[in-house]
Structure 1
Amino acid sequence: MEKKITFNELRKVKDSLPDGAIRQMAKEFNVSEETVRNYFGGANYTNGKAVGIHMEPGPNGGIVLLDDTSMLDRAKELIAAEAV
């Protein structure tokens, strides 16, 4: 499922993740930790892969089109669980 989100919103989700969440998500999605970071706006393609995000210039850091929202959805679940 595609989703548009601002780059700043995407980074806010990443910055809100509890400790160890990047590692946990990497295991769950069977990808490297750098690939998870790349999903949230990172750019380390030496140790991580591209993950279906497309960026366009604009306000709030630009617009990001996510081809697949599963990592974003999982990140929000982890943040919500930490808040309980």
Structure 2
Amino acid sequence: MENRITFNELRKIKDALPDGSIKKIAQEFDLTEETVRNYFGGANYTSGKAVGIHMEPGPNGGIVLLDDTKILERARELIHAETV
């Protein structure tokens, strides 16, 4: 999977997640919910950890480089399952 995505696209995916998905993803990957939110552009490093995203300025909120796309892939699966 491509490890580059625009910040706006990443936020759009987060906003499209079905209710309870952040908690579900956190449990599946043994992370806190805040850490998952940080993956999608949040910045709560008191309750959550950094998750290997790197921001570069650019159009559509900039480019986000992801060290690991597992959370993004799982989020897309959950969105797809909701729409089928």
Smaller-chain TM-score range?
A: over 0.9
Q: Would you say the 8 A contact 1:14–1:75 is kept in 2? A: yes
| 1:56 to 2:77 alignment | no
User: Could you say what secondary structure the match of 1:48 adopts?
Assistant: coil
User: Could you say what secondary structure the match of 1:9 adopts?
Assistant: helix
For 2:60 and 2:10, how far apart are their aligned partners in 1? 10
TM-score by length of 2: 0.97
TM-score by length of 1: 0.97
- Unpaired runs of at least 5, structure 1: none
Cα deviation for residue 53 of structure 1 reads 0.2
Q: 1:11-22 counterparts in 2 under 5 A?
A: 11-22=11-22
Partner of 2:39: 39
Question: Segments of 4+ in structure 1 off by > 3 A?
Answer: none
For 2:14 and 2:26, how far apart are their aligned partners in 1? 13
| 1:68 to 2:68 alignment | yes
Cα deviation for residue 68 of structure 1 reads 0.3
For 2:48 and 2:37, how far apart are their aligned partners in 1? 8
Identity %: 77
- Unpaired runs of at least 5, structure 2: none
Cα deviation for residue 2 of structure 1 reads 5.9
For 1:23 and 1:32, how far apart are their aligned partners in 2? 8
Cα deviation for residue 66 of structure 1 reads 0.3
For 1:80 and 1:59, how far apart are their aligned partners in 2? 26
